Every structure is written in C-alpha cells, then in structure tokens.
Structure 1
C-alpha cells in the first residue's frame, strides 16, 4: 500500500534540518517513490511503500524533535474509482 507523508518544520530549524538531511538515508523497507519540497513553505511530501512497521518507525522517529509528520494512505485515483465502482455493484 502507498502512503504519503507531509512533513513540516519551523523555519528556525532550517539549518539543523539541512545538516541532518545531507547524511540521511531512508531505512531498508521504506521504499520512496517520490519526494517533493514545497518551495513556498517549510514542508516536504514523500510518497512511499512500506515493507513493515519497523521501517516506518525507523524513518520517522529520528525527526520527531524537529518535524511534524502527517501520514496519509493514498491510492491512484483511477484505481480508487475502479475499486469503489466494484464495491458499489456488489452492494446492489
């Protein structure tokens, strides 16, 4: 399943965040599909698949003191529509 994290931080932490990120590697089992920076504010978006819960904790725990992480399960719209249509047909 796919997830998207929206990670935000306070502008005062820009330098510390940059230092940490330069040496950062995502843990095994946390498979990044795409990563974008919001150029207008202090946040980043990461879309990924997880192999296990440990990978999620390993990826988010080191940042808890400096960033807020909001995790959202996501799905491609076409796939979601197909699944919803199938479910609606089964309910009738």
Structure 2
C-alpha cells in the first residue's frame, strides 16, 4: 500500500533538519517512491510503500523530536476507479 508523509518543522530547525537528512538512510522495508522539498516553506513530502509496521516506526521515530509528521494512505485515481467499479459490481450481485 502507498503512503505519503508530510513532514513540517520550524524555520529555526532548518540547519538540524538538513544535517540529519544528509546522513539519513531509510530502513529496510521502507521503499521510497519519490521525495520532494517545498522550497517555499519548511515541508518535505515522501511517497513510499511499506513492508511492515517496524519499517514505519524506524523511519519516523528519529524525527519526532524536531518535526511534525502527517501520514496519509494514498492511491492513484486509476486504482481508486478500479476498486470502485469492483465494489459496485459486488453490491449489484447482493
């Protein structure tokens, strides 16, 4: 399943965030699809797939002291349509 994290932090923490990110390695099981930095503010976006809950914990716990993390389950519009059509067909049979 796909997830997107939005990480935000205070401007005073820019230097520390940069320092940590430069040495950061995502844990095994946390498979990054893409990353973006909001160049107009203190936000970072990550789209990824997870193998398990431990990978999520290992990727997020080290940042809790300096940032706020919002995790959102996501899917492509095509996948949402596919699932919606499947559900409609199942409900029509019931």
1:45-64 correspondence runs (5 A): 45-64=45-64
The 2-side partners of 1:11 and 1:39 are apart by 12
Provide the C-alpha distance between the structure 1 equivalents of 2:59 and 2:69, rounded to a whole number of angstroms: 10
Q: State the Cα distance separating 1:82 from its structure 2 match.
A: 1.2
Query: 2:42 & 2:55 partners in 1: Cα distance?
Result: 24
Return 5+ residue gaps in structure 1 as ranges. none
Cα distance in 1 for partners of 2:88, 2:4 equals 26
Residue 70 (structure 1) aligns with: 70
SS at match of 1:48: strand
- Which runs of 4 or more aligned residues in structure 1 lie more than 2 Å from their structure 2 counterparts after TM superposition? none
Question: How many equivalent residue pairs?
Answer: 92
Q: Which runs of structure 2 are paired with 1:1-92 in the superposition (5 Å)?
A: 1-92=1-92
Unaligned runs of 5+ in 2: none
- TM-score normalised by L of structure 1: 0.96
Give SS of 2:88's match. helix
